[in-house]
Chain A
Amino acid sequence: MSASVLAKFAGLAEQRRVLLGGGRDPFGVVFEHALSATEAVVDGRKVTLFGSNNYLGLNHDPECLRAAAEAARSEGTGTTGSRIANGTYGLHAELEAELAAFFGRRSCMVFTTGYQANLGMLSVLAGKDDVLLLDADSHASIYDASRLSQAQVIRFRHNDPDDLDRRLRRIGEIPGSKLVVVEGIYSMLGDAAPLAEFVEVKRRAGAALLVDEAHSFGVLGEHGRGLAEAAGVEADVEFVVGTFSKSLGSIGGYCVSDAEGFDILRVACRPYMFTASAPPSVIASTRAALARIARDPGLRQRLWENARRFYGGLENTGFRLGPRVSPIVAARMPDVPTAVAFWNALLDRGIYVNLTLPPATPDGQPLLRCSVTASHEVAQIDAAVAGFAAVAAALRLSLAAPSPAAG
């Protein structure tokens, strides 16, 4: 009985066996101990983390740690309830008010994970008569949300405002509403949406716009509010969704908006209503991290200095990367076996990066996806670049000629 239930995974199991041929399981790494924002222990050895999405390094920030510990001691380890029952503490309400203020928006809803924030917002906003328009390279949580929604779902070409425009024209006049979804920074290649152009298109069509700033919050914009701030179009973005599990160093998600009557969603949005709320320690450290981001633009400056150093280092070594400098630096690999061997060899040298494979990657191409943090030391970055170069040489990977700007 159980064998037949799992029979449909035979193909996936075979792909997985091939992946394991390189030695380790790339999707089953155990970090025996997390030592700091940039180091952990794997297989009993210290490794440097270049695949953590921990952009500002705040998960080991002393103030955030103290806030989490104090909240756990005074308020307990978990809320044991959902937001609409016994799971909304003063801490949750305060964080919502602080996030709304940070974004200069009227309302905020906090979710237990970033995944649930997308699942909840898209499924509740796009109803039966509505059309949801998704960028082709959207994160899995956006695709999953579209399946939970009752709306018609249309996919447009990645970062292509003209394609969105064509598809909006094809829809024409409908009784329901149109909701366009894009991301601030795309998690695979680190590229950003051409948001001002998207805004123009959606205004012409009378559509609403939701921007997922998961990877751009705390990273882009003069105040760290993300791509909408950087592009100067916040007034035209009806909904911003984001996560606590990247630059804020904990776990959770949110949506901020100026929409009139937004709070009705608290009793309509199922992924908000039917799961336990985040524990006090998580909410408390998130508040401390948000306060730090608000008062310390130096964090963002260090992040970008590190991103430029790492991106520049790999580019000068001859790796083919994403289109522009970003805290997400993705090295393109020619094929899956090379990517797996490269990933294992980097870990042998004490460098952890994310191995990402199609169909999770665009263009059907495997990537060694790296992320840089504000906490990386220059020496760690230079050592990682040297490690990439050494592994490329050992595997005889053909690289582009070093650029004249090298050094």
Chain B
Amino acid sequence: METDPQAITRLLIDTLAANPRVTREITAETVIVDDLALDSLAVMNFVMEIEDRLDVSVPLDRLAEIRTIGDLAGCLAELAGQR
């Protein structure tokens, strides 16, 4: 299972780029809610998609602290590394 933050960042960016609602360029510094104009539900649903790919569950209390794509990749890498 993927545990490298860079590779996970790539996966996040590619997945978001495939979403027709997301039109702007995405980097590790992109702020998920503000820059992508996703509501809280859309963010949770997006994370759910990624969770299945990496076989992890991101607790909602952790998700609340995450702002950028890079933060999310770091959190996912850490959870995947614990497996």
Point out residues on A near B: beta carbons under 8 Å: 131, 134, 136, 143, 146-147, 152-155, 157, 167, 170-171, 358-359, 364
Contact = CB atoms under 8 A, between A and B. Distances in A.
Given A170-B55, A358-B39, A152 B44 contact: no
Please list the 3 inter-chain residue pairs (A to B) with the smallest Cβ-Cβ separation, ordered nearest first: A359-B41, A153-B60, A359-B39
Nearest to B60: A153
A167 B61 CA distance: 16
B57 A364 contact: no
Contact of B42 (A131, A152, A171, A364): A364
Given A147-B61, A170-B55, A170-B83, 8 more contacts: A134-B60, A136-B48, A152-B59, A154-B57, A155-B48, A157-B48, A358-B39, A364-B42
Contacts of B57: 154, 167, 170-171
Contacts of A143: 60
A143 B5 CA distance: 29
B28 interface: no
Contacts of A167: 57
B40 A359 contact: yes
A359 to B, nearest CB: 4
Contact of A364 (B41, B56, B59, B64): B41
Contacts of A171: 57
Contacts of B44: 136, 155
Nearest to A146: B60
B39 A155 contact: no
B59 A170 contact: no
12 contacts: A136-B44, A143-B60, A146-B60, A147-B61, A152-B59, A153-B60, A153-B61, A167-B57, A170-B56, A170-B83, A171-B57, A359-B39
Pick from B41, B48, B57, B83 the residue with the most CB of A within 10 Å.
Answer: B57
Interface string B27-58: 00000000000011110110010000001110
Given A136-B48, A170-B55, A155 B41 contact: no
B42 A153 contact: no
B43 to A, nearest CB: 10
A377 B83 CA distance: 59
Contacts of A146: 60-61
Contacts of A359: 39-42
